[in-house]
Amino acid sequence: MRRLSMHELSGVELAKIKYLELKILLELQRVCNMLGIEFHLDAGTLLGAARHQGFIPWDDDIDVSLLRPDYEILMREGPRIFSKEFYLQTPENSPRMPASFMKLRLNGTEMRENVLGHVPGNHGIWIDIFPFDVVLQNTDFEKLRRRQRNLGKVFDLKMRETASGKLSPMGRLGRTIIHLALQTVPRDAILNRMRGDDLHGIDLENSYITSFHYGSSFIALKYAESLPTTTLKFEGYDMPVLSTWPQYLTQLYGDWKKLPPEKDRIPHHFVSKLDFGEYADIQLPAEE
């Protein structure tokens, strides 16, 4: 087992992580097909599919999303269908984890993020699974963006006494005081307020879909134009993406076709422990 930052990973280690994350993604696809629900590639994973036909070369994770009804079906039914190699981690079965979304983890491995290393629970190599919510056509998107950003900050302050960034002594003290005060607020009350509108009775053709998990970024896509999904190649596999994926990437990244400066081509997770377990000696496929 190694203790390191993601910047210190060898090329082989990063390649193994990606290989195992792809394994997790394919298991998710299998289970979603069995349940008759659909996910779509999200965030940097979608960017990788669109620009690189796979992982962004320096990226270190996989992000996917499902519309809220399918997301809740997966959360409810998935655990009985996933192979024993995998663990669907949810806010419900892992209440100490400061995440408002699900992670599908590979059992028998360990990849601890620096900011979560002290939290008990399964820390296997993972992919992130986010909900997409429906919002009404007449929504004030800027007001909603501020609301969701503030709720995200409240959730983070409740769940984590320490921050990932550097704080002054007074900043740390203030965060601790707020963290303690928020222990009186039920965690589920915050999570419930982060959801979008109930789908019952909504005119979906004139509504929008959005995700509330991008901090200061906020996306809003027309439901009728985004679905049904289409596909893009990701590491040789056809993977579902929203039909509005070019607009989505533009909203999230601006000029997404342009590569970032070389100094910014770095992984964005920091890992304190890495253990491939039974997969340590796995043979990676030869690059073509």
Query: Would you put residue 42 in left (φ > 0), alpha (ψ -120 to 50) or beta?
Result: beta
Q: Is residue 184 part of a domain?
A: yes
Could you tell me if residue 284 is inside a domain?
no
Lowest mean pLDDT among 54-68, 108-122, 200-214: 200-214
Q: State residue 191's pLDDT score.
A: 67
Q: Please report, rounded to a whole number, the percentage of residues in the chain having pLDDT higher than 90.
A: 41
pLDDT of res. 79:
94
Q: How confident is the model at residue 229 (pLDDT cuts 50, 70, 90)?
A: very high
Least trusted range by pLDDT, from 84-93, 106-115, 139-148, 241-250: 139-148
Q: How confident is the model at residue 204 (pLDDT cuts 50, 70, 90)?
A: low
What is the token pair recorded at 239?
A: 């993977």
* Least confident segment among 37-46, 149-158, 229-238, 251-260: 149-158
How many structural domains does the chain have?
A: 1
Tokens at 191, concatenated? 């999570």
pLDDT for the residue 31: 98
Q: Looking at the domain assignment, is residue 65 inside a domain? A: yes
Locate 217 and state its tokens. Answer: 């970024």
Q: Is residue 287 part of a domain?
A: no
Do the beta carbons of residue 94 and residue 116 sit within 8 Å?
no
For residue 200, the model assigns a pLDDT of 46
Whole-number Å distance between alpha carbons of 64 and 104: 11
Query: Do residues 129 and 101 lie in contact, with contact meaning Cβ atoms separated by under 8 Å?
Result: yes
In a domain, 82, yes or no: yes
- pLDDT value of position 266: 74
Look up the domain containing 151 and give its range: 6-279
Q: In this predicted structure, what is the pLDDT of residue 173?
A: 64
Which residue would you say has higher pLDDT here, 163 or 88? 88
Task: Give the percent of the chain with pLDDT over 70.
Answer: 67
Average pLDDT, the chain: 81
User: Which pLDDT score, from 0 to 100, does residue 148 have?
Assistant: 65
Report pLDDT for 2. 46
Q: Which residue has the higher pLDDT, 103 or 266?
A: 103
pTM score, whole prediction: 0.82
Which distant-in-sequence residues (6+ apart) come within 8 Å of 215 by Cβ?
149, 152
Is residue 285 in a domain?
A: no
Residue 35 belongs to some domain of the structure = yes
pLDDT category at 42 given cuts 50, 70, 90 is very high
Contact 190, 151 (CB under 8 A): yes
Range 22-36 average pLDDT: 98
In tens, the pLDDT along 142-167 reads 676 676 667 666 666 655 555 555 66
User: Which residue in the block uniquely carries the two structure tokens 């965030």?
Assistant: 43
- When pLDDT is averaged across residues 170-188 and rounded to a whole number, the result is 66
pLDDT of residue 182: 64
On the question of pLDDT at 14 being above 70, the answer is: yes
Give CA–CA dist 226/221, Å, rounded: 7
Please state the rounded mean pLDDT for residues 41-60: 93
Does residue 286 form part of some domain?
no
